[in-house]
Each structure stands twice: as C-alpha cells, then as structure tokens.
C-alpha cells in the first residue's frame, strides 16, 4: 500500500491563528480525504480533496474554516483557520485508488495532533 | 446515506480468551465494509475488508469478520486474544462517493 506522510506530526497553536497540514503520498492516488478525530471520539470526514478543483465538504464543515488544496495526485493540504480550542483534534489524511485502481480501500496517514490554547 | 453502530464502547477480556466486537450497518448503496485498528498514539491501520465474494474475511493476525446481509452485521472475532491486541477498533462502511462512515469505536483491553 501507499506510504503516506503528514507534516507536522503535532503542533500547539494560539487561538486565532491558522495551521496548514501537509499530506504527501509516495505514489499517485485517485482520491484523498481529510478526517478529524476529536479527543476520545471516532473519525469524521471533513472533505474530499479534488485535484484541480474545490474540495467537496461534508455537512458542518466549510471552506472558509478548512480550506483544502490538491494540486496533483500525490499531495494535499488542509488549513485550520482562525483556530479555537474546539479545533484541538487529530487531523488525518487518507488515500484510495493507488495507481488509479479501484478506490474502495482507504489508507491513513499517521495524523497531525493539534492543540489550540 | 449510511451509518454504522458499534454496540460496545469498551470490551475488557482476559488474555487467550475469545472476543467478539459487534458492528451493525445501514447503507443505501452496495455494501463494502471495513475494520480499522488504532493502537495507542498511532494512526489507523486497515485490519480487514469485505468487498465481495466470501462472506468470511480474515486478517493476518488471527482476526476474522463475517458479513451477514440479513442481520446487517459485520462482527469482528478472534478465538484467542493477546495483550498486544489492546487497541481501539473501528468499523466503517463506504458511501457512493467513496467516503468512509465510521462507527463510534470499541476499546478492546486485554487483561493479563
């Protein structure tokens, strides 16, 4: 399966600031997703990152708060804007469709642990 | 729309005992089901999947799950657990746009 890296692995940020998280895959993939895992909770999909066009956001998530880019088939960024303590979570990217194959199996990056003070 | 229900939030079990983690789903599209495992302070790992074919699927570390369409279930089982199996287990179903919907998770704690 694809090797996925995320930067940074963790960060502590002041409220009101923004943080951009990078997701890099070692091979081309059809689909990339961003999830949030709040403390002690399950994963919730934020959006599907679409190459060359605007991301598709799930209910409750908006582009102004979580702008996403996907300039090519191996890279995506998620920005958490104007942060508040409620944004403290683990943010994970996932990929599917390695090598342009069927996009049923998703593989996850190691996550970015964000703490907002 | 799809949803996943994991009926047990915590499952403590003694080492070498059998375990079953329950998962029920609802989906309006073709059903593809997954179990992911999250070890402490680590990311999610795909444990096993059901896409088609045999309703009984197995992982390399002794877990198995059976897709039961009539009961809309995909329970995870292992006949004999080890301390190293202690982790959070998430059941998930895939939607028409390939997005995953996760259950709330089950914390499996294996006791010595």
Query: B3-57 pLDDT, tens per residue?
Result: 899 999 999 999 999 999 999 998 776 789 999 999 988 889 999 999 888 888 8
Read off the pLDDT of residues A61-102 as tens digits, 9 standing for 90 and up: 999 999 999 999 999 999 999 999 999 999 999 999 887 666
The residue of A42, A91, A102 whose CB has the most chain B CBs within 10 angstroms, and thus the best one to mutate to test that interface, is: A42
CATH topology assigned to domain A29-99 = Immunoglobulin-like (2.60.40)
Kindly state whether A2 is in contact with chain B, defined as any CB-CB distance less than 8 angstroms: no
Instruction: Please tell me which of the candidates A42, A58, A107 has its beta carbon nearest to residue B102.
Output: A42
Kindly state whether B103 is in contact with chain A, defined as any CB-CB distance less than 8 angstroms: yes
In angstroms, what separates the C-alpha of B36 from chain A's closest C-alpha?
10
- What's the burial of A115, exposed, middle or buried (CB within 10 Å: 0-12/13-18/19+)? middle
Task: Please state which CATH number belongs to domain B3-111.
Answer: 2.60.40.10
Sign of CA dihedral B63, B71, A102, A30: negative
Who's near A16: CB < 8 A, 6+ residues apart? A82, A83
The full set of domain ranges for chain B reads 3-111
- Chain A residues in contact with B45 by the CB 8 A cut-off are 108
Read off the pLDDT of residues B83-94 as tens digits, 9 standing for 90 and up: 999 999 999 998
């Amino acid at each position: 399966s694809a090797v996925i890296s995320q930067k940074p692995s963790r960060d502590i940020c002041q409220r009101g600031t923004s943080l951009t998280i990078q997701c890099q895959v070692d091979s081309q993939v059809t689909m990339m997703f961003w999830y949030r895992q709040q403390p002690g909770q399950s994963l919730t999909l934020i959006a599907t990152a679409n190459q060359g066009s605007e991301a598709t956001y799930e209910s409750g998530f908006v582009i102004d708060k979580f702008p996403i880019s996907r300039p090519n088939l191996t890279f995506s960024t998620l920005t958490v804007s104007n942060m508040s303590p409620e944004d403290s979570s683990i943010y994970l990217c996932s990929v599917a469709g390695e090598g342009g194959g069927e996009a049923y199996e998703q593989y996850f990056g190691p996550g970015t642990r964000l703490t907002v003070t | 729309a799809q949803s996943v229900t994991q009926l047990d939030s915590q499952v403590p079990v003694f080492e070498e005992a059998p375990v079953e983690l329950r998962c029920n789903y609802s989906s309006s599209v073709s059903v593809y089901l997954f179990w992911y495992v999250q070890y402490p302070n680590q990311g999610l790992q795909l444990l096993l999947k059901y896409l088609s074919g045999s309703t009984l699927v197995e992982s390399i570390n002794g877990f198995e799950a059976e897709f039961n369409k009539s009961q809309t279930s995909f329970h995870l089982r292992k006949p004999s657990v080890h301390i190293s199996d202690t982790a959070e287990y998430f059941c998930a179903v895939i939607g028409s746009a390939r997005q995953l919907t996760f259950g709330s998770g089950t914390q499996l704690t294996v006791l010595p």
